[in-house]
Structure 1
């Protein structure tokens, strides 16, 4: 707790008193000594017998992630990395108490029912059955002060920026999104998950309460069958060349963990209550054209992902608002919240499928020239343009994406792309290639806007340029990755050459060479 004293020494006693009265507390009981725990991924702690939670949490959404220390050598395998987590909104001056339940490896409500009964997680919109009570006075909290780790307030801006859309969206809409995507604990109201949670495509009825058949806890044998089926599916994905890899060393660890979970060894995780599947809106970057598209239209939207991006945004809107229309300017907030959640689940919960989903998000935004108002590679001449092929430019949406991406990179360690323990093969190359294409599209959009003398959009494009420059500076200063080294023309020539050689960098084309044959193959029509 020496860091706590260091941080407290930097503020006056009056400031400390106000923070103590205004900010929230998370009291954690029974977490084993030697466990790893972090809040918002800003500071990681190894707990001792004195640890009892966190203090001075600002109001808002927070993510608590942990790996409980094992009690036996057999269970120690697979314990690297933070693999369990929950999201929760903390109100001003709220005191939340959780206890560690070894049977389920979860932080549960103090009055939670024993594990093994009906599953406590559902997609229901009803409030928690066990509301938080006033369980601690300020005097009691002060008596626990030396046992509580301080929230790293000096890094709060990093978390706030990385979750700016989640924090700013209407709270009820955020609850609906999290309920549909992660599922909510019926008793505590926490949105909890783990690294081995399966990922399923979301249907629009995902917000509805689950039936009793889906709500019950799976048996150990059923869990084993599901784990085996998941491994078979993963092998199929890898066989198709998809870049799906675990974060850091978790790939081998999770293979061992799946064996342990099938009963060959004893470990205190996931035995009785599996995490509900993470449900994400359907997104396939390899099939990015409108239904029924043919000829030149199919070719255009195969390369330009704008249509798919708009379609995905509309799906995310329906998840959080149903049939209600969102206010103007807020209609694209839900898709940015989903983007933020996929990053947090990938980095801090270490869900590898969410990593692939986050990467697809980057692919969509970086390869959407029409959304920027930039001319695309296969765009129709204005004289032949049809309403069906039209996408309304929204440079502000891409600017918001670039700001979110920049904030996410600031949460990553500086050696993320270089350290052998955290580096994911091929990720940096694909990321920089996508960002190079984004840079080209931004430049084209700025040129098109200037040529058209669109004075009404000047501010939007200035914000777009500012967001790009901030991202470029972050990549250079934090990771040593230079995004401005090549001219736009050099990028286009290199990418065109790669496409001609059958190893294109237009996202999806490298995979589509094999996957888009026969009736699915794009067709270029000469006029």
Structure 2
């Protein structure tokens, strides 16, 4: 990194003290991962903001274990302490450590300096991508959705086990999606998108146009800020992309379905949908091609949703139409998809068209 950036991060950057980790552990933060050695003590000069820290133990036979990790919103100059627990092959957080010892670690953080690697910003492309992928996620959102110190679990929720069924059936995928323990995404059912006590006409209207549900969530959960809602969409997607977490996947799909089915809200608040398309394109650009084809596009889910979104754009909404056209061009170049033009009148079953390339 250049000297000016290094100086700024030296003054304002955060530190993660990662103690007693075994050699050959895979350790990563955001898009960067390493196999660590015996002298590794953590990462310094972490840019303030959201980061995902993860690790995976390696067996004596060299087999990589399940990736485990946590999200943390680092404040400027923050020092976060984690210690390896060999019994559980997981981390102890500060609530499980001697508070006096933790405080001594923080006061004497410079003693660990030579054993801490700097957050990689050279080249800056990976950090720039990470920021774009997470730019709406706030510290409050992380605390609400991941109350267990940001930890992403792969264990089924005890509540779900008690209530039975254990899993939430996702009929579009034809698979069962478990609700993992400690994941508190906003609860809503996109199939029940009308107010309680609605008349028959209202049920019909708001089942086809899900604007009532979107407005209710914006008012009740997100303080009428669509950027906070987009933050939860981003967090759900990153839980899937980085942690292979399927509660995140289920939540992301619900939000995509919701926001691609709101013509009334689109007419009154087009900027929400311009920002949503920005978020969606950045997310799709981060997907490996096989991941996109095997998971996100199964049963043409993304295609159907984007067709709905495109058809709801009004002719006079030139800015929104231009942004959607940009997304269509991106899909054509990135995944060899051709979504129909907005004025095309073709059945959902016929799109998208996969263009065969030599």
Q: 1:351 to 1:463 in 2, by over 3 A?
A: same
CA–CA distance in structure 2, aligned partners of residues 489 and 193 of structure 1: 43
Q: Which has the higher strand share?
A: 2
Q: 2:154–2:181: 8 Å Cα contact kept in structure 1?
A: no
Which runs of structure 2 are paired with 1:69-468 in the superposition (5 Å)? 69-70=58-59, 79-80=65-66, 82=67, 84-109=68-93, 112-113=96-97, 133-137=106-110, 140-141=112-113, 143-144=114-115, 150-151=120-121, 153-167=124-138, 174-175=139-140, 177-184=141-148, 190-198=149-157, 226=161, 232-234=165-167, 237=169, 243-244=174-175, 276-317=181-222, 326=223, 331-373=225-267, 393-418=268-293, 423-424=294-295, 427=298, 429-442=300-313, 445=314, 447=315, 450=316, 461=317, 463-468=319-324
- CA shift for structure 1 position 200: 7.1
CA–CA distance in structure 2, aligned partners of residues 166 and 57 of structure 1: 17
Q: Which runs of 5+ in 2 are unaligned?
A: 351-358
Q: 1:200–1:280: 8 Å Cα contact kept in structure 2?
A: no
CA–CA distance in structure 2, aligned partners of residues 199 and 278 of structure 1: 12
Scaled by the length of structure 2, what TM-score is found? 0.81
Q: 2:41–2:112: 8 Å Cα contact kept in structure 1?
A: no
Which of 316, 325, 332 is the equivalent residue of 1:476? 332
CA–CA distance in structure 2, aligned partners of residues 197 and 65 of structure 1: 19
Scaled by the length of structure 1, what TM-score is found? 0.57
CA–CA distance in structure 2, aligned partners of residues 68 and 333 of structure 1: 37
- CA shift for structure 1 position 48: 3.6
Q: 1:343 to 1:245 in 2, by over 3 A?
A: farther
- CA shift for structure 1 position 28: 1.5
- CA shift for structure 1 position 34: 3.2
Q: What's the secondary structure of 2:292's corresponding residue?
A: coil
- CA shift for structure 1 position 71: 5.5
- CA shift for structure 1 position 183: 0.9
Which of 19, 24, 48 is the equivalent residue of 1:34? 24
Show the counterpart of 1:8.
Answer: none
CA–CA distance in structure 2, aligned partners of residues 199 and 478 of structure 1: 40
CA–CA distance in structure 1, aligned partners of residues 34 and 202 of structure 2: 53
Q: 2:195–2:212: 8 Å Cα contact kept in structure 1?
A: yes
Q: 1:315 to 1:90 in 2, by over 3 A?
A: same
Q: What's the secondary structure of 2:76's corresponding residue?
A: coil
Q: Kindly indicate whether structure 1 or structure 2 has the higher relative contact order, using CA contacts under 8 Å at least 6 residues apart.
A: 1
Establish whether residue 494 from structure 1 lines up as the match of residue 350 from structure 2.
no
Q: 1:413 to 1:38 in 2, by over 3 A?
A: farther
CA–CA distance in structure 2, aligned partners of residues 290 and 477 of structure 1: 41
Q: Which runs of 5+ in 1 are unaligned?
A: 1-10, 115-129, 168-173, 185-189, 202-225, 252-274, 318-325, 374-392, 451-460, 499-527
Show the counterpart of 2:355.
Answer: none
Q: 1:474 to 1:155 in 2, by over 3 A?
A: farther
Q: What's the secondary structure of 1:487's corresponding residue?
A: coil
Q: 1:411 to 1:428 in 2, by over 3 A?
A: farther
Q: Deviations over 1:98-150 (max 9, x none)?
A: 22223344333467349xxxxxxxxxxxxxxx67833312x751x225x5563
Q: How many residues align?
A: 345
RMSD (CA atoms): 3.5
CA–CA distance in structure 2, aligned partners of residues 154 and 355 of structure 1: 26
Show the counterpart of 1:505.
Answer: none
Q: What's the secondary structure of 2:233's corresponding residue?
A: helix
- CA shift for structure 1 position 366: 0.8
CA–CA distance in structure 1, aligned partners of residues 95 and 245 of structure 2: 29
Q: 1:13 to 1:295 in 2, by over 3 A?
A: closer
